[in-house]
Amino acid sequence: MNASEACEVYNKLPEPHKLILRESARDSLLAKGFEEIGSSDTSNECFHLIMQEEHYEILGYKQCEDCKEWFEELPESGICEGCIDAGSICPACNGSGEGMYDGSTCRSCGGSGDEYHPNGRSRRGSRYDPDREPEEVDA
């Protein structure tokens, strides 16, 4: 990414995000020993942060553990919708759905061969997940 692309990213940020980023850029300039920080210095530092992809963390974005893309919001699993839709070959059984012994079922994926869809895709809406603790109900 070059500075003009970073500038475009910056311009597309919602106003509150720009402010957070500018504040962080100012801190970063101060840390570098700048004394008089002009508005264009701050902007340039913002572009720099964007080029280094540091702005995601500053803005509290979350990174999908699968595709490594950044998102404003991610499901609790840490995997983005797109990756969940695409599915993932179960690493425990290599997608066969079979367990360690003949005739047994893989415990990681429940036999679907797809670790993101342990109950198969047809029942994707189901919240059943053998590994998940029962959800806590707010009092």
Q: Please give the residue ranges that form the binding site for Zn ion (CB under 5 A).
A: 64, 66-67, 80, 83, 90, 92-93, 106, 108-109
In the complex with Zn ion, which residue's Cβ is closer, 42 or 108? Answer: 108
In the complex with Zn ion, which residue's Cβ is closer, 38 or 75? Answer: 75
Q: To the nearest whole angstrom, how small is the minimum distance from the Cβ of residue 136 to Zn ion?
A: 26
Do 67 and 84 contact (CB within 8 A), yes or no? no
Instruction: Return the axis-axis angle of helices 39-51 and 3-12, rounded to nearest 10°.
Output: 100
Q: To the nearest whole angstrom, how small is the minimum distance from the Cβ of residue 36 to Zn ion?
A: 42
H or E stretch at 63: strand 62-63
Q: Quote the DSSP letter at residue 72.
A: S
Residue in 119, 123, 121, 100 with CA at minimum distance from that of residue 110:
119
> In the chain, how long is the greatest CA-to-CA distance?
72
Q: To the nearest whole angstrom, how small is the minimum distance from the Cβ of residue 58 to Zn ion?
A: 21
Q: To the nearest whole angstrom, how small is the minimum distance from the Cβ of residue 54 to Zn ion?
A: 20
In the complex with Zn ion, which residue's Cβ is closer, 14 or 91? Answer: 91
Do 83 and 116 contact (CB within 8 A), yes or no? yes
Which residues are paired to 98 by β-bridges?
Answer: 105
In the complex with Zn ion, which residue's Cβ is closer, 42 or 119? Answer: 119
